[in-house]
Structure 1
Amino acid sequence: MNQNKRILLVISGGIAAYKSLDLIRRMREKGFSVRAILTKGGAEFITPLSVAALTEDKVYTDLFSLTDESEMGHIRLSREADLVVVAPASADLIAKMANGMCNDLASTALLATDKPVMVVPAMNVRMWEHPATQANISTLKSRGVIQVGPTEGAMACGEFGLGRMSEPADIVTAIQDHFKNDTISKQVNGSRLSALVTSGPTHEPIDPVRYIANRSSGRQGHAIAAALAARGIETTLVSGPTDLPDPEGVATIHVETAQEMLDACKSHLNVDVAICAAAVADWRVDHAGNQKIKKQNGLLPELTLTENPDILATLSQAGKERPELVVGFAAETENVVENAVHKRARKSCDWILANDVSPETGTFGGAENLIHFIHDDGVEDWPKMTKQAVAERLADRIVDHFSGREKTSSKDAAE
């Protein structure tokens, strides 16, 4: 699979640039062809000659070299690769990428490329944690840029924390996964699959300081979104309030209430599959207070509840806009499978993942889940596993579903 795959490696400034030499060697061992752009900062740590010796190709450094521009223009350089890898990716280059700035060969090639881009950040922990850097990374991720690392550990500056460049072996694995997942997605339906995932709780305001909610952590929904994105599926996550970071490679929309979640889902409904993993509050206060409700001599406030919109049913019954595959969750405390079977029929969704959320199970807020997978052919009882493992298994089933559809369509066409 790696044969004939071309990598454009952009090496920016930083002590971690020395790792790029090992990265080139490992990529070549796996069958990738590698061409490199070495920035001025990168050349302070490693030499063009060492990079050229390992790539067995010319190293490009200067945007305004007439020889380079006549032989290999920056547009052609940026478009001939199958993947552009920025390793190490300095805070400066990440900022340029996020803001569309280009004043050297590396930043110009990155702005001109129409190919997938992978960044491997490397910088001081304080620089990595700075709000500006985090905002820039979020911007890149929202555009589909793949992020690998950084990792935690001791740094050359003597500090400890997140900011170390990932090891070359791990970067090569991420590159291989990218091509594998891209191949899977394109084999499925000739173009990239798309998915919509909901996650977390919703907060329904009682007044400006109080709300109705549930105990959902969002771990399962976030894990599903990440697993789908890792398989090359273009994924949008609509998340209620959680303490979790946005998954890498996923376009995340943050909402508070059930109505906001539904509105966000309806505006992103042109997808192949929708997975409703959010634990949406069933009710909201009919008229939330504009000011904090005060105690009144022991009298209890009168709260009138009204039913929230049913997001799963709405997506399942969306007519021409309905995703081909709609998947729901059934969080139950009794008669788990029986209630979930009825819910699937009532909501008109294709699959239901039922789980027991009784307090003694520790499912809400915990790291594990016990799933009963309900579909047309019956019920599958999955073993207890981590929520990440559940996400991986579900993502594989989704890919299998669309692969099967493609095979059936091809067979029908042949007949």
Structure 2
Amino acid sequence: MEGAGGRPRVVLGVSGGIAAYKALEVLRRLTESGHDVRVVPTPAALRFVGEVTWAALSGSPVHTDVWADPDEVAHVRIGREADLVLVVPATADLMSRAVAGRADDLLTATLLTARCPVLYAPAMHTEMWEHPATRANVAVLRERGAIVVDPAVGRLTGPDSGAGRLPEPAEIAALARAVLALGPAAGRPDLAGRRVVVSAGGTREHLDPVRFLGNSSSGRQGYALARAALARGARVTVVAANVALPDPAGATVVRVTSALDLRDAVHAAAGSADVVVMAAAVADFRPAKPQDYKIKKEGGVPAPVELEPNPDVLAELVSTREARRPGQLLVGFAAETGGPDGSVLDLGRAKLARKRADLLVVNEVGAGLGFEVDHNKAVVLGLDGSATTIEHTTKDLLAHRVLDLVVGRLA
């Protein structure tokens, strides 16, 4: 169902935590991207941000209890008409009441009547997040089909720091859009219970302490894949090579620099993964003898840089799969320009024959293509001989199309 002007309808539930003020940024981003947002705060949430503020920014009336507008039966209508219910922040108390099926305010009543995807973004002190009761409640919500992202690690209220910080509002909004992009399949998280590892960004191979061999990968496609997997209910680890983007909401992010760093991190994470997606642009070579000091230009041109090959991480994952995790699905990326040796697709087919991954996403890169932009196109080659063309689209939608193929093979 859609709101006014065909806009997707989002219910933004706000529970009573100090992070409630950050939900204002989530609201702004969703309304600016064309969503019809109805804010449903709990009475406790209004102690942090007032009713007038929510109404002014959303353009819709704000109520907190089931007695408002009784002729409209709001506690039933709001949940039925929503395309997504997004709870920011989701406190330990709110999730506990949702698990118990309580309906003592308009938000919990809405959660009971919603037949659309429900996405919780928890925020609380570390001790509350780690308490067995909270962990059990999160597990129950996930078993029922809700998406509960893990909170970020960082500064909390006062001097405290640890797990429990609300993820960045921009990433919560991006995750909400990723869930909505699934369309009718959004209510069936088809990667629930699965663990997905995604590598993203571009590695750097240092010549000296200030210079390196690198590439133009921004990590946008890898982060889009991580968001798409999270939207489908997966637990996601991102191995990020020199990425200057906010962490995807709910993902565990491991930051690396070089190809050897990435190799170690991916192998460590892959041991428990159902799917590994190697979207990072990994340098093929590294300097054989990096200098410990900055190379000076005085004295003329330095001697040629001697290079040595980096390990082929995807090929290693394929060769060790049966010993590590039989049945693990491996997806590679091939960024190609074409050239004297063949077209982009020819080079992609040759790479798939060498690496033997289950799927290889082949995309052309260059000026305005692939790297450092928000759109992409690709052909996904399967080891079974299949070829799926993904026409020019956003990286978020391309990520979902790739994961459609992943889910089909996992099934």
TM-score w.r.t. the length of structure 2 is: 0.63
The residue identity in structure 1 corresponding to 2:370 is: T
* Correspondence for 2:373: 366
Q: How do residues 371-410 of structure 1 correspond to structure 2 at under 5 angstroms?
A: 371-375=378-382, 376-402=384-410, 405=411
Distance 1:15 1:248, change over 3 A: closer
Distance 1:312 1:223, change over 3 A: same
In the alignment of these two chains, the number of paired residues is 318
Q: Distance in 2 between matches of 1:138 and 1:340?
A: 43
* Correspondence for 1:4: none
Q: Does 1:11 align with 2:12?
A: no
The residue identity in structure 2 corresponding to 1:399 is: V
Q: Which residue among 56, 62, 65 is the counterpart of 1:51?
A: 65
Q: Does 1:38 align with 2:58?
A: no
Q: How do residues 2-401 of structure 1 correspond to structure 2 at under 5 angstroms?
A: 10-12=15-17, 38=44, 41=47, 51=65, 53=67, 77=97, 79-81=99-101, 97-100=124-127, 113-115=137-139, 116=141, 139-140=163-164, 183-185=188-190, 192-269=193-270, 270-318=272-320, 319-322=322-325, 324-334=328-338, 335-359=343-367, 361-375=368-382, 376-401=384-409
Deviation, structure 1 residue 287: 2.1
Gaps of 5+ in 1: 1-7, 19-33, 57-72, 87-93, 122-129, 152-165, 406-415
Share of identical aligned residues, percent? Answer: 28
Q: How well do the aligned residues superpose, as a CA RMSD in angstroms?
A: 4.7
Gaps of 5+ in 2: 1-12, 25-39, 53-62, 69-73, 76-92, 109-120, 142-146
Q: Contact between 2:22 and 2:169, CA under 8 Å: does it hold in 1?
A: no
Q: Contact between 1:148 and 1:171, CA under 8 Å: does it hold in 2?
A: no
Distance 1:272 1:178, change over 3 A: farther
Q: Contact between 1:205 and 1:285, CA under 8 Å: does it hold in 2?
A: yes
Q: Distance in 2 between matches of 1:331 and 1:44?
A: 50
TM-score w.r.t. the length of structure 1 is: 0.62
Q: Contact between 2:155 and 2:161, CA under 8 Å: does it hold in 1?
A: no
Distance 1:184 1:336, change over 3 A: same
Distance 1:137 1:385, change over 3 A: farther
What's the secondary structure of 1:328's corresponding residue?
A: strand
Q: Distance in 2 between matches of 1:344 and 1:96?
A: 43
The residue identity in structure 1 corresponding to 2:381 is: I
Larger Rg: 1
Q: Contact between 1:341 and 1:374, CA under 8 Å: does it hold in 2?
A: yes
Question: What does the per-residue CA deviation read over 1:251-304, in whole Å, with 9 as the maximum and x for residues that have no partner?
Answer: 111100111111111111121111111110111111211111223411413422
Distance 1:39 1:284, change over 3 A: same
Q: Contact between 2:23 and 2:169, CA under 8 Å: does it hold in 1?
A: no
Q: Contact between 2:179 and 2:228, CA under 8 Å: does it hold in 1?
A: no
Deviation, structure 1 residue 378: 3.1
Question: What does the per-residue CA deviation read over 1:5-49, in whole Å, with 9 as the maximum and x for residues that have no partner?
Answer: xxx97334778999xxxxxxxxxxxxxxx9968379369879xx9
What's the secondary structure of 2:189's corresponding residue?
A: helix
The residue identity in structure 2 corresponding to 1:51 is: D
Deviation, structure 1 residue 181: 5.1
The residue identity in structure 1 corresponding to 2:212 is: Y
What's the secondary structure of 1:281's corresponding residue?
A: coil
